[in-house]
Amino acid sequence: MADGHDFTLDAGTGRTLTAFIARPDGADPEAKLPAVLVVHEIMGLNNDIRRIARHFADNGYVALAPDLVGAGWPVLCMARFFQGVGKVGTGRPYVEMAAFHDWLASQPGVDPDRVGMAGFCAGGGFAMLYAARGGRQLRAVAPFYGALPADESIIPELCPIVASYGGRDGVFGKSGPKLAAALAATEIPHDVKTYPDAGHSFMSHHEGLVGTFGPLPPMRSNFDALASEDAWVRVLGFFGEHLAPRA
The structural domains of the chain, ordered by start, are 4-242 (3.40.50.1820)
Task: Specify the pLDDT at position 246.
Answer: 65
pLDDT at residue 98 tops 60: yes
Average pLDDT taken over every residue of the chain: 95
**Residue 174 pLDDT more than 60?**
yes
77-87 mean pLDDT: 93
pLDDT at 32 over 80: yes
pLDDT value at 126 more than 80: yes
Q: What is the rounded average pLDDT of the residues 149-167?
A: 96
Q: Distance (Å, rounded) from C-alpha 205 to C-alpha 217?
A: 17
Mean pLDDT computed over 129-147? 96
Examine the pLDDT at 216 and tell me if it is beyond 70.
yes
pLDDT on residue 135: 85
pLDDT above 60: residue 110:
yes
Long-range Cβ pairs for the range 22-25 (8 Å, 24+): 22/50, 22/53, 22/54, 22/56, 22/57, 22/62, 22/63, 23/57, 23/62, 23/63, 23/109, 24/57, 24/58, 24/59, 24/60, 24/61, 24/62, 25/57, 25/58
Average confidence (pLDDT) over 119-139: 96
pLDDT score recorded for residue 73: 85
Closest CA to 40 of 101, 124, 100: 124
SS3 per-residue string spanning the chain:
CCCEEEEEEECCCCCEEEEEEECCCCCCCCCCEEEEEEECCCCCCCHHHHHHHHHHHHCCCEEEEECCCCCCCHHHHHHHHHHHHHCCCCCHHHHHHHHHHHHHHCCCCEEEEEEEEEEECHHHHHHHHHHHHCCCCCCCEEEECCCCCCCHHHHHHCCCEEEEEECCCCCCCCHHHHHHHHHHHCCCCEEEEEECCCCCCCCCCCCHHHHHHCCCCCCCCCCCHHHHHHHHHHHHHHHHHHCCCCC
pTM greater than the 0.85 cutoff: yes
Q: What's the average model confidence in pLDDT over 86-114? A: 96
Average pLDDT score over residue span 54-79: 94
Evaluate if residue 207 carries a pLDDT over 60. yes
| Range 209-230 average pLDDT | 91
Q: What is the pLDDT of residue 137?
A: 93
Pairing of strands 110-120, 161-166: unpaired
Read off the pLDDT band of 221 (50, 70, 90): very high
* pLDDT of 247 over the 60 cut: no
From 18-22, 87-91, 134-138, 212-216, the region with the lowest mean pLDDT: 212-216
